[in-house]
């Protein structure tokens, strides 16, 4: 059996499972701020903004591929009150070393919460959520996407909620 099809089939099933979280209030998770990358300590600190939250690892090739795309989204949509947050499961030391010579428009942090609730529990990497200004999950995906695809998702959200 073709491993690409297995992987694609798995990610489709996983994404369908994650889609069940759309419309639910996001858990108020806590983060460890990283030096030089200011990041509020709670997801609820971003209420009033549209948050694009990516869970990832520095060793995840899909995460590395999507990061620059999300940075472009941050740069283009910051005036529309959009905030991209990168939440890594790596240690602070690993993150500091990884980002030492890299630039990020999004804010970077390490996950502090150990007891995550669905849909944030045991997520594939990368998993990305769009969370509205009231903390409600409006979209999610489990595979890396390019700028155009992410922008379409964001614009659909803006149109759907008349923002």
User: For the chain, what is the total number of helices (H) and then of strands (E)?
Assistant: 4, 6
Give the model confidence (pLDDT) of 132-152 as tens digits: 999 999 999 988 999 999 999
CA-to-CA distance for 71 and 103, rounded, in angstroms? 9
What domain range is 136 assigned to?
3-160
| pLDDT above 70 (res 47) | yes
Instruction: Pick the more confident residue, 37 or 3.
Output: 37
Kindly report the three-state secondary structure assignment for every residue of 61-101.
HHHHHHHHHHHHHHHHHHHHCEEEEEEECCCHHHHHHHHCC
Tokens of 139: 């979209």
| pLDDT above 70 (res 15) | yes
CATH number at 46 reads 3.40.30.10
The number of distinct structural domains making up the chain is 1
pTM: 0.86
Q: Which residues make Cβ contacts (< 8 Å) with residue 98, sequence separation at least 6?
A: 58, 90
The pLDDT, as a whole number, for residue 38 is: 57
The pLDDT, as a whole number, for residue 94 is: 87
Instruction: Pick the more confident residue, 89 or 109.
Output: 89
The pLDDT, as a whole number, for residue 26 is: 92
The pLDDT, as a whole number, for residue 1 is: 36
Distances (CA, A) of 123 to 14, 56, 97: 9, 9, 24
User: Could you tell me the pLDDT band of residue 2, with boundaries at 50, 70 and 90?
Assistant: very low
């Amino acid at each position: 059996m073709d491993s690409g099809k297995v992987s694609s089939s798995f990610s489709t099933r996983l994404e369908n499972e994650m889609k069940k979280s759309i419309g639910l209030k996001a858990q108020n998770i806590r983060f460890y701020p990283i030096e030089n990358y200011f990041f509020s300590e709670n997801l609820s600190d971003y209420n009033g903004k549209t948050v694009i939250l990516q869970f990832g690892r520095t060793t995840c090739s899909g995460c590395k591929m999507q990061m620059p795309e999300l940075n472009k989204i941050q740069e283009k949509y910051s005036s529309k009150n959009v905030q991209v947050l990168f939440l890594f499961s790596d240690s602070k030391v690993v993150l500091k070393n990884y980002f030492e010579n890299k630039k990020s428009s999004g804010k970077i942090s390490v996950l502090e919460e150990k007891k995550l609730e669905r849909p944030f529990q045991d997520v594939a990497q990368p998993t990305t959520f769009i969370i509205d200004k009231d903390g409600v999950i409006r979209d999610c995906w489990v595979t890396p996407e390019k700028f155009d695809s992410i922008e379409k998702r964001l614009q659909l959200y803006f149109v759907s909620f008349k923002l």
